[in-house]
Amino acid sequence: MSQILRVGIAGLGTVGVSVIRLLERQSAALASRSGRSIKVVAVSARERGRDRGIDVSGLSWFDDPVALARSPDIDLFVELMGGSEGAAREAVEAALLAGKSVVTANKALLAAHGMQLARMAEDKHVALGFEASVAGGIPVVKTLREGLAGNQIVRVYGILNGTCNYILTRMEREGLSFEDCLKEAQRLGYAEADPTFDIGGFDTAHKLAILTSLAFGTAVDKDAIHVEGIQSITLADLKSADELGYRIKLLGVAQRTAHGIEQRVHPTMVPKSSAVAEVMGVTNAVTIDADAVKELTLVGPGAGGDATASAVVADIADIAKGIRSAPFGLPVASLESAKRLPMQIHEGGYYIRLSVQDRPGAAAAIATRMAERQISLESIMQRKPPGETGAKGTVPVVLITYATSETAIREALEAVVKDGYIAERPQVIRIERE
């Protein structure tokens, strides 16, 4: 191993450029902390002549990131291209096969191929760092893998997508519609032209799959996660939540239950007194419930060049020090299968919004259907929130239940729909208690 850690970076977008700048700015401090100098010696990107605001003339240039990954002139390969297939996957696999450690910010790659890549890293006795793949600058990977090694994790949940949190925050604070907030998020660059990956909950699911593995010793499996997005959330839901003492957030939740590890992504009502309820805008937050520390919440920037670069450089510094942890906390052979638990067995409180026909017997019929499934109601609101208009001849009714099962809720609502007393599809939002 050379005295200087020679780094090759594939991908010179916002994050790649920020990594180079941060390594230069903190070079003396990093050398002191790591016991060796860290130097970027080679890069790869699509466009060689593009002005990125940094000088790369003194670095070796590779048009092919796979060739960079195999180069004998680097010790560490940093993948910042993105994508679960193609060049990103090929280059990371090439680096690991060549016996080089890898750092990546690519949650899609890890969600799809994390186990294979971790196994390759173990076989070659090199490191696979991915702190930047979840929650940007928040050091949640190291917290779960090393910082809480003496704890048994009961639940990990959080706001893992800044786009969704930005939209929900502006809807709540400014009374804007979902559509208007989404357009503004796209204009500001928080949301893509096709925002489905973010607002549909899939980005959060990829990140949750990684956190679940670290927290519970399971194999990464994004297909084991129940996923719902925020497209159905309305101003009526946000106003009702506010009146009831809640806020609505898109959460990724992994929880140990009697049936196994439950993994789910969906809009969630959280008490205003909870730490995640206070997290607004594009900020991310992760809460960890464990036996020794009880509750630990980490809050910080979930994206952006400097924040993500901070996490990338943290991994680079660990590798410079010679730290070689099992990527997911345990050897791949020791990780258990992440069996998908059907959402029907989930238990908890529920918010239900109904557009009820304004005629005699409707309320009594709904209460009867709930009672038949042994669903206890904590509160009932039967008035229109200010500024809301429902279907003609209907009354908005909001129910908050005590803990019950998803199956009971779905069966009760199916019966209510068949009774013909409601004019629109019921809105159901799960409640996450503190």
Catalytic residues: 207
CA 33-34-35 angle, 5° bins:
100
Q: Which amino acid is at 419?
A: D
Q: Do residues 78 and 19 lie in contact, with contact meaning Cβ atoms separated by under 8 Å?
A: yes
Q: Do residues 36 and 3 lie in contact, with contact meaning Cβ atoms separated by under 8 Å?
A: yes
Q: How far apart are CA 332 and CA 433, in angstroms?
A: 33
List Cβ<8 Å contacts ≥24 apart for 53-56: 53/17, 54/17, 54/20, 54/21, 56/12
Q: Which amino acid is at 195?
A: P
According to DSSP, residue 218 is labeled B
The tokens 């700048």 sit on which residue?
21
Tokens of 397: 């009714």
Q: Which residues of 103-142 are buried (b: 16+ CB within 10 A; e: fewer)?
A: bbbbbbbbbbbbbebbbbbbebebbbbbbbbbbbbbbbbb
Tokens of 359: 């005629």
